[in-house]
Homo-oligomer: A and B are copies of this chain.
């Protein structure tokens, strides 16, 4: 039973969007908050969840705070996902093969 916090972090669309934004490079908290029509505290809380999952790292820069993406924990998701991969790939193939079959 791995971390659970990573899967939990990915469960909310805002947090997934945050990760996508940070994939393009570091951003400040205010900059991130402006991307959503949410209050600053709300975004701060989402960032806190991401920080707990160690998916982001924050570095104080003057009176701003710069958030960096740390994608390593996502490897855990991929590891979990991997055993299933051949299942849906096999099924997608067989769907083409047995196109005459019913569901």
Identify the A interface with B (CB < 8 A): 1, 4, 7-8, 10-11, 13, 16, 19-20, 23, 69-72, 74-75, 77-78, 80-81, 83-85, 87-88, 91-92
Contact A16 B77 (CB under 8 A): no
Contact A91 B77 (CB under 8 A): no
Q: How many copies does the complex hold?
A: 2
In the complex, A16→B83 CA distance in Å? 12
Q: Is the interface of A mostly helix, strand, loop or mixed?
A: helix
In the complex, A83→B21 CA distance in Å? 12
Contact A19 B74 (CB under 8 A): no
Contact A75 B87 (CB under 8 A): no
In the complex, A78→B89 CA distance in Å? 12
